[in-house]
Amino acid sequence: MQNNFNIISGTTLFKGFSEKEVQAALNCLEGTIRDFAKKETIFRADEVLDEAGIILHGQVLLCKENISGMRSIFSELGQGEIMGETALGLAREHSGYEAVAGADCKILFIKMNKIVRP
C-alpha cells in the first residue's frame, strides 16, 4: 500500500490522513487491491455493491444499457477517482450501471458497510 499512499491520501475519503492512519483504516475496511485487464467487467448493473473502489492505475468506464440493448459510456474514471459509491447507500439496491476496465487497471476496494453499518 505504501506505493499508493499519495493516490489514496488524495481522495476525499482519506484526505488529511497520515500514512499510518490510512493503513489502519484500510485494515479495518478490509482493503484489497485487484487487477483488471482491459475490457474486463469490474461489476455488472444488476449487482448490489458492498465495496467502493479507488482507481490506483488505469481507466474505468461506467456504462448503461438502454432499452434496445445499446450500451453507452456515461463516465470515464482515472487514477485517484472513486467508483461504486452506491455501496454507501443504506438501501441495498442495484448499481444500475456497469463498470468495465477501459485499460489495464489496479483498483483498491474497501468494504463500505464497515463505515456506514458498524
H helices of the chain, in order, are 5-9, 19-28, 113-116
d(C-alpha 102, C-alpha 26), whole Å: 26
User: What does the pLDDT read at residue 48?
Assistant: 83
User: Any idea of the CA torsion for 53, 4, 116, 84, to the nearest 10 degrees?
Assistant: -10
**pLDDT digit string (tens) for 57-106?**
999 999 998 888 888 999 999 999 999 876 555 556 677 889 999 999 99
Share of the chain above pLDDT 70, in %: 86
